[in-house]
């Protein structure tokens, strides 16, 4: 009888530790996803109403990172249109985000699509 109780106790302890270990990565993934969505929304907010007229839709790619003050730092902008490149740098560089960025050492490649207004 003591052996069965000991075995059940061991199974319960192992099961609970396995269940607790499996919940942590989901929380981290959810946090990263929420952070990415928030960053994307803020970038979209900063890039509204360009100060120039586009003749066609333009796709650009900005490489960004974040400094210790939660400000966006634009490292480079890859675009066929020089006006778009300057616009993205002007609107994003050193703009402060209203929330804390957890992974400030990472660089991000952000696709940016500017559509022609009709």
SS3 track for 15-35? HHHHHHHHHHHHHHHHHHHHH
Identify the band that residue 100 occupies on the pLDDT scale cut at 50, 70 and 90: confident
Angle, CA 58 vertex, CA 56 and CA 62 arms, to 5°: 165
Number of Cβ within a 10 Å radius of residue 101: 17
Distances (CA, A) of 88 to 1, 64, 85: 72, 11, 5
Identify the band that residue 72 occupies on the pLDDT scale cut at 50, 70 and 90: very high
Greater pLDDT, 69 or 18: 69
Q: What single-letter DSSP state applies at residue 56?
A: S
Greater pLDDT, 7 or 57: 57
Task: With beta carbons less than 8 A apart as the criterion, state whether 62 and 86 touch.
Answer: no
Identify the band that residue 74 occupies on the pLDDT scale cut at 50, 70 and 90: very high
Of 30-34, 54-58, 88-92, where does mean pLDDT reach its minimum? 30-34
Supply the pLDDT for residue 22.
47
The whole-model pTM stands at 0.67
Identify the band that residue 94 occupies on the pLDDT scale cut at 50, 70 and 90: very high
SS3 85: helix
Greater pLDDT, 96 or 39: 96
Structure tokens at 29: 């993934």
User: Where would I find the H helices in the chain?
Assistant: 2-46, 82-92
Supply the pLDDT for residue 11.
54
């Amino acid at each position: 009888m003591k052996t069965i109780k000991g075995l059940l106790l061991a199974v319960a302890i192992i099961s609970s530790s396995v269940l607790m270990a499996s919940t942590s990565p989901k929380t981290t993934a959810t946090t990263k996803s929420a952070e990415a969505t928030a960053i994307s929304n803020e970038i979209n907010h900063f890039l509204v109403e360009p100060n120039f007229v586009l003749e066609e839709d333009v796709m650009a790619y900005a490489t960004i990172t974040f400094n210790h003050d939660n400000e966006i730092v634009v490292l480079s902008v890859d675009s066929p249109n020089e006006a778009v490149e300057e616009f993205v740098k002007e609107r994003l560089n050193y703009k402060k985000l209203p929330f804390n960025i957890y992974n400030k050492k990472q660089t991000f490649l952000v696709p940016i699509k500017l559509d022609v207004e009709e």
